[in-house]
Structure 1
Amino acid sequence: MNGVVEAGQAPPTGPDRPASRRWLPWLLAATVAWAVLLTVLTWTSVRDDPPTVREQRSLAEAGPVVDRAAGELAAAAGDTAVLTPPEVERGCRVTPFADGATLVRAVEAFVPAGEERALLEQVADRLPGHWRAGVRVTSDGPLLRADAGEFVTVEGTVVGDGRVRLVADTGCRPVGDDYAAPTADATGAETEALAAALRALGGPAA
């Protein structure tokens, strides 16, 4: 019966079994070290790396980007462009446990009926190159799409005969310190962008 294990009996513990327990402290130490390393790398990434999703930028941080985008859009649309007041929509969900808000700024532009697409193409050509603006035809008509940076999207659509609407939108994101609307004293990101864009286009910047 030597070396034979009968059914229902546990195999004997060999002389090498206790030796495997000596690895447990090393395994535990390696696990703890790996966890610490991951924590340090995550902290460093959050502190130093640029954001990779819009949820990493609050409404307060995105506000100046939207204001500048509105100024660029107004300048690109020309003399008939009208800046509308900022719209902050609250109540969206950033995560299942966190509320957020969306900031939208729009520019309304007017042209003779039938020239709406030409205006959208003009705006796309005049916007900064890194926005990668372009116009394509959809089932709903011509659509301008661009990226103003910091996860702020730009769209331009035809909303009626001779009427074009250009929108800069943050999407839902944390409120942070909240959005501070530009004052009426002709200062701020939108005014600076509008003046700079007009100068680049050869128009008066007043």
Structure 2
Amino acid sequence: MTEAQVSPWWRRRGVAPAAVTAWVLVIAGLAYYSYRTDAPTVRDHRPLDRAVPVAERAYGTVLAKLAEGPGDGGVRPVIVLQPPRIAPGCRVTTARDGAELTRAATVHIAPEDAAPLIERVAAAGALPAGYRIWLGRDAAGVTNSFRVDAGDFIGLRGIVEEPGVLRVALESGCRPVDGPLPAVAEPAADPMSAGRAEGVLAALGATGSRQSAASVPCPGGGTLTTALVAGFPERAPVLSDVLTPRAGLVLTSGDRRFAYSDGAREGVAVEVADGGEIAVAATTSC
């Protein structure tokens, strides 16, 4: 093979390497300038402050459908919401920083109802027409997870982490931020939900030293709300002994977790942390 056959194209055409380098730098500079000044690309169409309410509505839509329960006589689950979190530091592109909204919720469900519940959410017509959903299965072929694309790069994931516990996470994706990070105000706790939680905590021998509240909008109006109170008891109680007499329909019962449905829209979930703190969450669903 001759030298001409292996020579780079710029040598064959008489173009100097320096000119090629300069041209590459010009193209890179124009691309960066276009990125910073042109109209937004697809992901940039909705900055974080405008994406937050859209993501919240998507989360509320999916959680409201989960709150309806598995049908066919199954017990409605208890959903425990966590407050939203906005985390800066992600990258929209290599040249632009952004931030992301994330949310987490725990769905307490009778272990045998977890798969039917997920499959019911995936049924035709269960979610809005623009949503897409995929299901996952465990090694035994039992449905145990889902993933939802709610459009506009907003995603939700759910997985059964242990019997009776379905974790559902929301991710807005990394978004550009124009100005300060959007403020996410913690809502005031619903008085009835807070009262139920405090009553259960008192029955377990503890006084609330930590309180929080969280909510998401329901698709038909109103809100799905969680009031949480937590504290340390004087001595560790046996959850089932204390709570079974006052529970409605028991969903899960164990040494460190107890959840029950207490009416068509109300429910209570109790968890004992490693350090002994008892957290009681009372939720009113859509």
TM bucket (normalised to shorter chain) is: 0.5 to 0.7
Q: Is the 8 A contact 2:102 2:170 kept in 1?
A: yes
Aligned partner of 2:132 in structure 1 is 132
The alpha-carbon deviation at position 169 of structure 1 amounts to 0.8
Distance (whole Å) between structure 2 residues aligned to residue 176 and residue 117 of structure 1? 42
Structure with more helix by fraction:
1
The alpha-carbon deviation at position 174 of structure 1 amounts to 1.2
* 1:102-145 superposed Cα distances (whole Å, 9 cap, x missing partner): 11122221112243222222233332232122323266973312
The CA RMSD measured in Å over matched residues stands at 3.3
Distance (whole Å) between structure 1 residues aligned to residue 110 and residue 121 of structure 2? 16
Q: Percent identical across equivalent pairs?
A: 34
One-letter code aligned to 1:163: V
Aligned partner of 1:180 in structure 2 is 183
Q: How many residues align?
A: 154
RCO greater where, 1 or 2, for CA within 8 Å and sep 6 or more? 1
One-letter code aligned to 1:156: G
Aligned partner of 2:111 in structure 1 is 113
Aligned partner of 2:55 in structure 1 is 66
Dislocated runs of 4+, deviation >6 Å: 203-206
The alpha-carbon deviation at position 60 of structure 1 amounts to 0.8
**Structure 2 unaligned spans of 5+:** 1-33, 68-76, 191-214, 225-263, 266-284
Structure with more strand by fraction:
2
Structure 1 148/179 Cα, relative in aligned 2: closer, same or farther at 3 Å? farther
Structure 1 197/52 Cα, relative in aligned 2: closer, same or farther at 3 Å? farther
Q: Is the 8 A contact 1:105 1:169 kept in 2?
A: yes
TM-score normalised according to structure 2 size: 0.45
**Structure 1 unaligned spans of 5+:** 1-38
Where in structure 2 are the equivalents of 1:1-206 lying within 5 Å? 46=39, 53-78=42-67, 79-125=77-123, 126-137=126-137, 142-177=144-179, 178-181=181-184, 183-184=186-187, 190-193=216-219, 195=221
TM-score normalised according to structure 1 size: 0.61
Distance (whole Å) between structure 1 residues aligned to residue 41 and residue 176 of structure 2? 15
One-letter code aligned to 2:113: E
Distance (whole Å) between structure 2 residues aligned to residue 89 and residue 130 of structure 1? 27
One-letter code aligned to 1:123: V
Q: Is the 8 A contact 1:70 1:83 kept in 2?
A: no
* 1:144-185 superposed Cα distances (whole Å, 9 cap, x missing partner): 122222210121111222111122211112122433325525
The alpha-carbon deviation at position 197 of structure 1 amounts to 9.8
Distance (whole Å) between structure 1 residues aligned to residue 171 and residue 129 of structure 2? 19
- Between structure 1 and structure 2, the one with the greater Rg is 1
Q: Is the 8 A contact 2:78 2:107 kept in 1?
A: yes
